[in-house]
A = this chain, B = another copy of it.
Amino acid sequence: MTREACRANGFFGSTSGAAPSYLQANVIVLPSKYADDFRALCARNPVPCPLIAESRTTGDFASLRSLLSGVADDAVAGSLDLRTDCPSYNVYQDGRLVLHETPDISAQWTDDHVAFLIGCSYSFESALVRAGLPPRHMQMGRNVPMYRTNIPLNPAGAFSGGTYVVSMRPYRAADIDKIRTITRRYLPTHGECIAWGWDAVARLGIADISSPQWGDAPLTVDGRPLRDVFRDEDNVPVFWGCGVTPQEAVMRANLSGTIMSHAPGHMLVLDCLEDNVLP
C-alpha cells in the first residue's frame, strides 16, 4: 500500500512508522560494472551492509532476487517498480548530487542499472518497543542520530577506504545486556549493537556525541544535549551498524556514471514481515 501510494506520487514523507512491522530497505542503484564489487562489499561487511535483495537481472526494476534465506523472490515485493516506489530519491552524476529528493527516477534508470536493497534498523526498533525499551529518539519524535566512525570496512574492489556509519540510542547501563539479547537475532538488519558505553564514543572516533553527521542530536529525557550528561549511567550510548554505511562507501568511491539512492529516511517498504526474515 505504501509502495503503491509512492508510485502514484501520493506519499512523499519519511517511511519511519509507515506500514509497521513490514520490512523496509535502503536502495542503492549502480551501473552494472560496479555490481560485483558492491556485492563483495556487502558480503564482507554484513553488519553495516546487510544486502537483502537485488535486481533479478541487470536493468530489471520490476523483480528482485531475494538474498534472505527462506524468503522467495516474490515474497520480498510482489508488484514493484524500483524507479518510483520509494517516496523520494537522490541522483548522483560522476559523484556529484544532481537531483535532490525527486519522486521518480524513470528518466535516469537505464538497462545497465542494478538495484541493491539493504536492510534497515526499523525492524529491531519494533522489537525494542515490544520489549518495553523504546529508543529515545522515537519517544521524543526525533530522528535517530548517526555518526561516522573510524572502524574500517573490509575493502572490496572499487570500494576501499570506507568506514562504519553507526546509529546511536541511549539506554540505562542496567538494560544493555537485555538490549544486546533482543537485537542479536536481527542478523539481516544490523543485529546486535556493535559497541556500547561512554568509553566507546572516543574509541569509535566520534568527536562530539551531540553533533551527529546525520539525524537529530540525541537528548536526555528532559531535553538536554547528551554531552551534558557525560558518563551518566542512565544515558549510556549504544551503537549499531547503520544502512548509511554502504551509501557513504559508494559516495567515497568516486564512481563514474549515474548512481541513485532512496533519499535518507525515505525507504522502500517491502511485503515481508520483519519477523519472517530472521534466521
Contact = CB atoms under 8 A, between A and B. Distances in A.
Interface stretch (A8-16, A107-115, A190-198): A190-198
Contacts of A152: 151, 194-195
A192 B154 CA distance: 8
A31 interface: no
A194 B154 contact: yes
Contacts of A187: 40, 43-44
Contacts of A154: 47, 191-192, 194, 241
Interface residues of A, number: 21
A46 interface: yes
A184 interface: yes
A56 interface: no
A185 to B, nearest CB: 9
A191 B44 contact: yes
A165 to B, nearest CB: 14
Interface string A174-194: 000000110010010001111
Interface string A142-178: 0000000001101111000000000000000000000
B155 A194 contact: yes
Contacts of A192: 40, 44, 154-157
Interface in A71-89: none
A15 to B, nearest CB: 26
Contacts of A194: 152, 154-155
Interface in A118-138: none
Nearest to A279: B43
A152 B195 CA distance: 9
5 nearest A-B pairs in the assembled complex, by CB-CB distance: A47-B154, A44-B47, A154-B194, A43-B187, A156-B192
17 contacts: A40-B184, A40-B187, A40-B191, A40-B192, A44-B47, A46-B46, A152-B194, A152-B195, A154-B192, A154-B194, A154-B241, A155-B193, A155-B194, A155-B195, A157-B180, A157-B184, A157-B192
Interface of A: 40, 43-44, 46-47, 151-152, 154-157, 180-181, 184, 187, 191-195, 241
Given A40-B192, A44-B191, A154-B192, 15 more contacts: A43-B46, A43-B187, A44-B187, A151-B152, A154-B194, A154-B241, A155-B180, A155-B192, A155-B193, A155-B195, A156-B184, A156-B192, A157-B181, A157-B184, A157-B192
